[in-house]
Structure 1
Amino acid sequence: MKTSFVGKGGSGKTTLAGLFARHLAALPAPLLAIDADINQHLAVALGASDEEAVLLPALGDHLADIKEHLRGDNPRISSTAAMVKTTPPGRGSRLLTVTGPNPVYDALVREVGGVRLAVTGPFATADLGVACYHSKVGAVELMLNHLVDGPGEYVVVDMTAGADSFASGLFTRFDATFLVCEPTVRSVGVYRQYVGHARDFGVRVHVVGNKVDDESDVAFLREHVGDDLLTWIGRSAYVKAAERGHVRPVDALEPANRQALEVLRATADAATKDWATYTRQAVEFHLRNANAWANDKVGEDLARQVDPDYVLGPDPLVRAAR
Structure 2
Amino acid sequence: MKAAFVGKGGSGKTTLAGLFCRFLAAQDGRSLLAVDADINQHLAVALGADPDEAVRLPALGDHLETVKDYLRGDNPRIAATSAMLKTTPPGPGSRLLRVAEPNPLYDRLVHRVGGVRLAVTGPFAAGDLGVACYHSKVGAVELMLNHLVDGAGDYVVVDMTAGADSFASGLFTRFDLTFLVCEPTVRGVGVYRQYVGYARDYGVRVAVVGNKVDDADDVAFLREEVGEDLLCWIGRSGFVKAAERGRFLPIEALEPANASALATMRTALDGCTKDWERYAAQAAEFHARNAVAWGNARTGADLAEQIEPGFTLATATAAAP
TM-score normalised by the shorter chain: which range applies? Answer: over 0.9
- Cα distance in 1 for partners of 2:134, 2:317 equals 31
Post-superposition offset of 1:318: 4.7
Post-superposition offset of 1:296: 1.0
Instruction: Tell me, yes or no, if structure 1 residue 116 matches structure 2 residue 117.
Output: yes
Give the 4+ runs in structure 1 shifted more than 3 A: none
- State the AA in 2 paired with 1:134: H
Aligned to 1:32: 33
- State the AA in 2 paired with 1:276: E
Aligned to 1:4: 4
- Cα deviation code 1:152-179 (max 9, x no counterpart): 1100000000000000000000001000
- Cα distance in 2 for partners of 1:297, 1:218 equals 51
Secondary structure, aligned partner of 2:96: coil
Aligned to 2:303: 302
Aligned to 2:70: 69
Aligned to 2:196: 195
Post-superposition offset of 1:54: 0.3
Post-superposition offset of 1:130: 1.3
- Cα distance in 2 for partners of 1:298, 1:124 equals 26
- Cα distance in 2 for partners of 1:191, 1:40 equals 22
Any residues of structure 2 matched to 1:57-206 within 5 Å, and which?
57-206=58-207
- Cα deviation code 1:257-286 (max 9, x no counterpart): 011001110001000001001000000000
- Cα distance in 1 for partners of 2:236, 2:62 equals 37
Instruction: Quote the RMSD (CA, aligned, Å).
Output: 0.8
Structure 2 length normalisation: TM-score? 0.99
Any residues of structure 2 matched to 1:166-315 within 5 Å, and which?
166-313=167-314, 315=315
- State the AA in 2 paired with 1:171: F
Secondary structure, aligned partner of 1:139: helix
Aligned to 1:21: 21
- Cα distance in 2 for partners of 1:122, 1:164 equals 16
- Cα distance in 2 for partners of 1:168, 1:247 equals 34
Structure 1 length normalisation: TM-score? 0.98
- Cα distance in 1 for partners of 2:299, 2:266 equals 41
- Cα distance in 2 for partners of 1:105, 1:299 equals 32
- State the AA in 1 paired with 2:313: L
What is the percent sequence identity of the aligned residues?
73
Post-superposition offset of 1:309: 2.5
- State the AA in 1 paired with 2:16: L
**More divergent stretch after superposition (40-49 vs 241-250):** 241-250
- Cα distance in 1 for partners of 2:187, 2:178 equals 19
- Cα deviation code 1:273-310 (max 9, x no counterpart): 01001000000000011111111122211001000121
Secondary structure, aligned partner of 1:134: helix
- Cα distance in 1 for partners of 2:4, 2:299 equals 30
Secondary structure, aligned partner of 2:191: helix
- The alignment covers a number of residue pairs equal to 320
- Cα deviation code 1:194-219 (max 9, x no counterpart): 00000000112100000000000000
Secondary structure, aligned partner of 2:138: helix
Aligned to 1:56: 57
